[in-house]
Structure 1
Amino acid sequence: MARRRVSHQGTLVLDSEGLSKLLADDEQMVALIAEARSRGMEVVISALTISEAVHACTDKSRLNWVLSGLRVVPVGDEEARAASKLLMNAGLHGHEYAIDAAVAEAALRQHHPVVMLRSDVDDMAKLCGERVRLVAV
């Protein structure tokens, strides 16, 4: 799954559930990503999504192949501070929402329109507001 150069027709963001389904070669997830790419959208994940989705049984070769087709958005000090601000503004805190906040922060920095495939849209809606279209998977 080679990464394609895109003309920035928007961005598709995967959360850990999206990455897990892609790793499992889920037919619906593969089709959604293919559709996004056919529309010129870039497919991205937060670097923290990798640590959330990967476990002892993950096929490392498959993981490396899937990641080669995605843009992994790094999380550094500046991004962590912005994610913390999102948490505070949404009235959320703690480890339960920390990775969600980093994913939201990454999504908010991408080329618009931004669509996120998400397992729990309610929590992410509090963090992203109306700026990211959330699609339940």
Structure 2
Amino acid sequence: MARRQLNHDGTLVLDSEGLSKLLADSEQVVALVAEARSRGMEVVISALTIIEAVHARTNQARLRWVLSGLRVVPVGDEEARAASKLLMNAGLHGHKYAIDAAVAEAALRQHRPVVMLTSDVDDMSRLCGDRVRLVAV
């Protein structure tokens, strides 16, 4: 799954569940990622998504292979401040929603249209508003 240069016809963002299901070869998620790529969309994840999705039973070779086909968006000081602002605006606390906020912040910075595969549609809609199309996985 080599990383491709795209015409930026939008972005597909995977949250932790999206990445976990891609790692597990979920038919639904694999098909959605393939469709996005066929439409020229870039597929991205937040760097923090790796931390949230990986566990002791994760196949490390599979993880490396899957990540090689994704753009991993870093989280630095500026991104952390923007994610914190999203939390405040949504009335959420960072203790529980920090990674969701970082994923939402990364999604909001991507080339539009942006679609996110997520298991947290309610929380992500509070963080992203209507600027990101959310697809439940």
TM over 0.5: yes
1:110 aligns to 2:93 (yes or no): no
1:67 aligns to 2:72 (yes or no): no
Higher mean alpha-carbon deviation, 23-32 vs 67-76, is at: 23-32
SS of corresponding position for 1:12: strand
| Counterpart amino acid of residue 98 in structure 2 | A
| Counterpart amino acid of residue 33 in structure 1 | V
Cα separation, 1, equivalents of 2:95 and 2:24 = 26
SS of corresponding position for 2:87: helix
Q: Structure 1 residue 94: deviation in Å?
A: 2.7
- In structure 2, list runs of 5 or more residues that go unmatched: none
The aligned counterpart of 1:6 is 6
| Counterpart amino acid of residue 104 in structure 2 | A
Cα separation, 2, equivalents of 1:95 and 1:123 = 14
Q: Structure 1 residue 28: deviation in Å?
A: 1.2
TM-score by length of 2: 0.99
1:81 aligns to 2:81 (yes or no): yes
Could you give the per-residue CA deviations for residues 3-29 of structure 1, whole angstroms, max 9, x where no partner exists? 111000000000000000010111111
Cα separation, 2, equivalents of 1:18 and 1:3 = 18
**What count of residue pairs does the alignment treat as equivalent?**
137
Cα separation, 2, equivalents of 1:31 and 1:114 = 17
Tell whether the 8 Å contact from 2:84 to 2:94 is kept in structure 1 after alignment: no
Could you give the per-residue CA deviations for residues 80-104 of structure 1, whole angstroms, max 9, x where no partner exists? 0000000001111132100000000
| Counterpart amino acid of residue 87 in structure 1 | L
SS of corresponding position for 2:134: strand
Q: Structure 1 residue 38: deviation in Å?
A: 0.4
The aligned counterpart of 2:21 is 21
- In structure 1, list runs of 5 or more residues that go unmatched: none
SS of corresponding position for 2:75: coil
Cα separation, 1, equivalents of 2:13 and 2:125 = 14
Q: Following superposition, which runs of at least 4 residues in structure 1 exceed 6 angstroms of deviation?
A: none
Cα separation, 1, equivalents of 2:12 and 2:6 = 12
Cα separation, 1, equivalents of 2:94 and 2:37 = 35
